[in-house]
């Protein structure tokens, strides 16, 4: 009897897992790929579309350019996972049966119960989000003057917030637009939890782009055109982007799996509390010796190869391999500049300049090459 393996999601973990599974499974297995989009988005470069929406062609890869013809693709939004009946529910009312499921649905924005935040902010979790930020920044700039500049506020000074601020600044400078940008962070430091040397290098580049940085004052309420802080201060804005955190997808809330905020708990083999369901990427909290695996693109694509192999092993009753995350370093873009830190094989701890910028381009185009081919990667290089 033919077994069915279903992969849910087309992010880094999903695309990588498809390639791994196609190598590991035999022809007797029905491999099904389910996603709400018929393309893979190079999410860690989607912020480039804030400055220039035409970059879309370089950060989206059609699923047909990734998968083999024998892998079935179903476009639809996953709304639920029934572990008892081994069925995936889609938004059109249809279901997909599975023998094994690999959950790579990614995450959604977390609002932490802050009043008005979801209703009065933009996010950056997909291509349409980047386009919306572009359009609103452009419109605000059109109505602004040098005496009354447009105010763009970005909440959360993690990776997404920093890179979003950098792209808005590049848009401002490219169009000589009257825009003021404020990056706000509840904690006392930007890029919280990271090395102080890296934080300092990022702060310098943000300030060089005339981005105001406000830290140590959490947002307590958001309204149309204004956000309020714990200190009692407020900040008026024309555009407000919230990048302050992630949580799991709602579809996993009723899946009867061990989870935290809809992010499924998985061990180092990616097996969940149901031995027919595996999970990785932002959908999962993957157990590691030093704590949960970080929800990064780097970790997702490293994990995908082992996760795909483990699903094939489970299908054949073989022992599962444990995966250990190994950080290759951190590279963050700030507009056209970049900062690299703790990069494997590089003697300098933290560095910027052309070396960091080329490294950032190289990371993005290497992934595009791996999933979409060399020609597509070469075309994308100038915009990364």
Residue 217 located in a structural domain: yes
| pLDDT level of residue 27 (50, 70, 90 thresholds) | confident
**What CATH number does residue 225 fall under?**
3.50.50.60
**Average pLDDT of every residue of the chain:** 96
Residue 59 located in a structural domain: no
Judgement on whether residues 170 and 223 belong to the same structural domain of the protein: yes
pLDDT for 359: 95
**Token pair of 139, please?**
């419109």
Judgement on whether residues 181 and 237 belong to the same structural domain of the protein: yes
Judgement on whether residues 137 and 173 belong to the same structural domain of the protein: yes
CA angle 44, 49, 53 (to 5 degrees): 150
Judgement on whether residues 134 and 232 belong to the same structural domain of the protein: yes
User: Are the C-beta atoms of residues 72 and 33 closer than 8 Å to each other?
Assistant: yes
pLDDT at 1 over 80: no
Judgement on whether residues 105 and 252 belong to the same structural domain of the protein: yes
pLDDT at 290 over 90: no
Of 188, 211, 242, which closes a domain? 242
pLDDT for 261: 87
Write out pLDDT tens, residues 262-283: 899 999 999 999 999 999 999 9
Residue 278 located in a structural domain: yes
Please tell me the distance from the alpha carbon of residue 229 to that of residue 69, in angstroms, as a whole number.
53
Range of the domain at 367: 330-383
Judgement on whether residues 135 and 237 belong to the same structural domain of the protein: yes
Q: Which residue has the tokens 């390639």?
A: 19
Residue 71 located in a structural domain: no
Share of the chain above pLDDT 90, in %: 92
Backbone angles phi, psi at 46, to 5 degrees: -65, -25
Residue 257 located in a structural domain: yes
Structural domains in the chain (count):
3
Judgement on whether residues 230 and 182 belong to the same structural domain of the protein: yes
**Token pair of 104, please?**
């790579």
Judgement on whether residues 135 and 212 belong to the same structural domain of the protein: yes
Write out pLDDT tens, residues 157-211: 999 999 999 999 999 999 999 999 999 999 999 999 999 999 999 999 999 999 9
pLDDT for 36: 96
Of 262, 286, 315, which closes a domain? 315
Judgement on whether residues 160 and 256 belong to the same structural domain of the protein: no
Judgement on whether residues 258 and 234 belong to the same structural domain of the protein: no
Write out pLDDT tens, residues 223-256: 999 999 999 999 999 999 999 989 999 999 889 9
Residue 321 located in a structural domain: no
Residue 254 located in a structural domain: yes
pLDDT for 130: 98
Write out pLDDT tens, residues 114-154: 999 999 999 999 999 999 999 999 999 999 999 999 999 99
Closest by CA to 122, choosing from 140, 106, 149, is: 140
pLDDT for 254: 84
pLDDT for 8: 98
Q: Judge if pTM exceeds 0.85.
A: yes
Residue 369 located in a structural domain: yes
Write out pLDDT tens, residues 89-110: 999 999 999 999 999 999 999 9
User: Are the C-beta atoms of residues 340 and 197 closer than 8 Å to each other?
Assistant: no
pLDDT for 295: 87
């Amino acid at each position: 009897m033919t077994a069915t393996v279903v992969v849910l999601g087309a992010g880094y973990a999903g695309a990588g897992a498809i390639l791994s599974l196609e190598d590991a499974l035999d022809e007797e297995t029905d491999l099904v790929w389910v996603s709400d989009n018929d393309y893979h988005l190079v999410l860690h470069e989607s912020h480039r579309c804030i400055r220039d929406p035409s970059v879309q062609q370089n950060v989206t890869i059609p699923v047909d350019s990734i998968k083999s013809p024998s892998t079935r693709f179903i476009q639809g939004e996953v709304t639920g996972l029934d572990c008892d009946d081994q069925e995936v529910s889609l938004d059109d009312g249809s279901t997909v049966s599975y023998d094994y499921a690999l959950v790579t649905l990614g995450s959604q924005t977390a609002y932490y119960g802050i009043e008005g935040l979801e209703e009065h902010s933009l996010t950056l979790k997909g291509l349409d989000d980047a386009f919306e930020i572009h359009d609103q920044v452009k419109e605000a700039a059109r109505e602004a003057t040098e005496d009354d500049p447009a105010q763009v506020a970005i909440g959360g000074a993690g990776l997404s917030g920093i890179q979003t601020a950098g792209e808005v600044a590049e848009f401002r400078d490219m169009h000589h637009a009257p825009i003021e940008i404020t990056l706000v962070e509840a904690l006392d430091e930007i890029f919280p939890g990271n090395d102080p040397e890296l934080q300092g290098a990022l702060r310098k580049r943000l300030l060089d782009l005339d981005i105001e940085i406000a830290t140590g004052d959490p947002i307590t309420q958001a309204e149309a055109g204004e956000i309020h802080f714990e200190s009692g201060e407020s900040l008026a804005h024309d555009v407000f982007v919230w990048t302050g955190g992630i949580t799991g997808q709602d579809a996993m809330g009723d899946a009867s799996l061990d989870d935290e905020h809809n992010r499924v708990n998985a061990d180092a083999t990616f097996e969940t509390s149901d031995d027919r369901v595996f999970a990785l990427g932002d959908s999962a909290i993957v157990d590691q010796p030093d704590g949960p695996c970080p929800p990064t693109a780097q970790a997702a694509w490293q994990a995908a190869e082992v996760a795909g192999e483990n699903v094939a092993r489970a299908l054949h009753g073989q022992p599962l391999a444990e995966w250990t995350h190994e950080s290759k370093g951190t590279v963050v873009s700030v507009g056209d500049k970049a900062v690299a830190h703790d990069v494997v094989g590089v003697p300098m701890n933290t560095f910027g300049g052309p070396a960091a910028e080329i490294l950032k381009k190289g990371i993005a185009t290497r992934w595009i090459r791996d999933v979409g081919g060399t020609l597509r990667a070469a075309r994308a290089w100038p915009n990364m």
